[in-house]
């Protein structure tokens, strides 16, 4: 059975933030809500100082704490391992947000446009229909793209592969997505060959997002 996962090679990440912007464009997340983000850290001293980048998103854990604590079953895992939220069942208790050790979830307090005092743009009017006030949200690995095969995104007439928008947009090829259960998939081979690891392995959550160059602060 297919179990989806992702590899992020921090050595290849150039800190362009295209992944975060692509996520917002694809999923139409409201103002201030980022399902995908990139943390920056300055390390070293002149003249060898540099900036390290750590892309973050939902880890889609095998042993997902957010699923365990959800009292209504709103947070649940699909057969393909993707963790999703049923907004109709979510009561906004925020237990999942507290339980997530990766800070991957956001509570939607309000949905407002990016231009204060102005009406919502046509894009916002369309995209915000997918979001609900009073619920918890997070990255879905662009499950809608996978389910559709994918033939289209938010932009009419634009055909792209059925992989997360952040992967398609990554200019340096730092992200790879695929079936972790298939030993011959690109993502499985790269995880093995590049000795990738996960964030906070001691917690036993078994994340499905792997990193080449796991950041020391995690």
Where are the chain's structural domains?
Answer: 4-212
User: What is d(CA 218, CA 213) in angstroms, rounded to the nearest whole number?
Assistant: 11
Res 218: pLDDT: 64
pTM, two decimal places: 0.91
Q: Quick check: 155 and 183 in contact, CB under 8 A?
A: no
CATH architecture of 4-212: 2-Layer Sandwich (3.30)
Nearest to 167, CA basis, from 195, 192, 183, 187: 187
Q: Quick check: 189 and 167 in contact, CB under 8 A?
A: no
Nearest to 17, CA basis, from 154, 138, 166: 166
Res 160: pLDDT: 53
Tell me how crowded residue 56 is: count the other CB atoms within 10 A of its CB.
Answer: 22
pLDDT in tens, the chain (218 residues): 899 999 999 999 999 999 999 999 999 999 999 999 999 998 888 998 989 999 999 999 999 999 999 999 999 999 999 999 999 999 999 999 999 999 999 999 999 999 988 999 999 999 999 999 999 999 999 999 999 875 444 445 555 567 899 999 999 999 999 999 999 999 999 999 999 999 999 999 999 999 998 876 66
Res 149: pLDDT: 76
Q: Quick check: 113 and 123 in contact, CB under 8 A?
A: no
Question: Which H or E run includes 65?
Answer: helix 65-69
Cβ neighbours of residue 152 under 8 Å, at least 6 residues apart?
Answer: 158, 159, 160
Res 144: pLDDT: 92
3-state helix, strand, coil in the chain (%, to 5): 25, 20, 60
* Cα dihedral across residues 121, 122, 128, 129: positive or negative: positive
């Amino acid at each position: 059975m297919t179990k989806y996962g992702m590899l992020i090679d921090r050595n290849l990440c150039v800190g362009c933030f295209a992944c975060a912007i692509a996520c917002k464009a694809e999923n139409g997340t409201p103002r201030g809500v980022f399902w995908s983000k990139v943390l920056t850290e300055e390390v070293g001293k002149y003249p060898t100082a540099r900036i390290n980048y750590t892309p973050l998103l939902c880890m889609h854990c095998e042993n997902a704490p957010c699923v365990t604590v959800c009292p209504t079953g709103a947070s649940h895992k699909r057969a393909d391992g993707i963790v999703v939220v049923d907004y109709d069942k979510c009561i906004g208790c925020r237990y999942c947000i507290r339980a997530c050790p990766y800070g991957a979830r956001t509570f939607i307090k309000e949905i407002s446009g990016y231009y204060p005092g102005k009406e919502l743009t046509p894009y916002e009017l369309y995209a915000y229909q997918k979001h609900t006030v009073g619920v918890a949200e997070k990255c879905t690995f662009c499950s809608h793209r996978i389910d559709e095969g994918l033939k289209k995104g938010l932009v009419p007439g634009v055909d792209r592969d059925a992989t997360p928008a952040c992967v398609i947009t990554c200019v340096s090829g730092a992200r790879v997505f695929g079936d972790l259960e298939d030993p011959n998939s690109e993502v499985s081979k790269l995880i093995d060959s590049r000795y990738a690891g996960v964030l906070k392995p001691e917690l036993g959550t078994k994340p499905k997002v792997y990193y080449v160059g796991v950041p020391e602060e995690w």
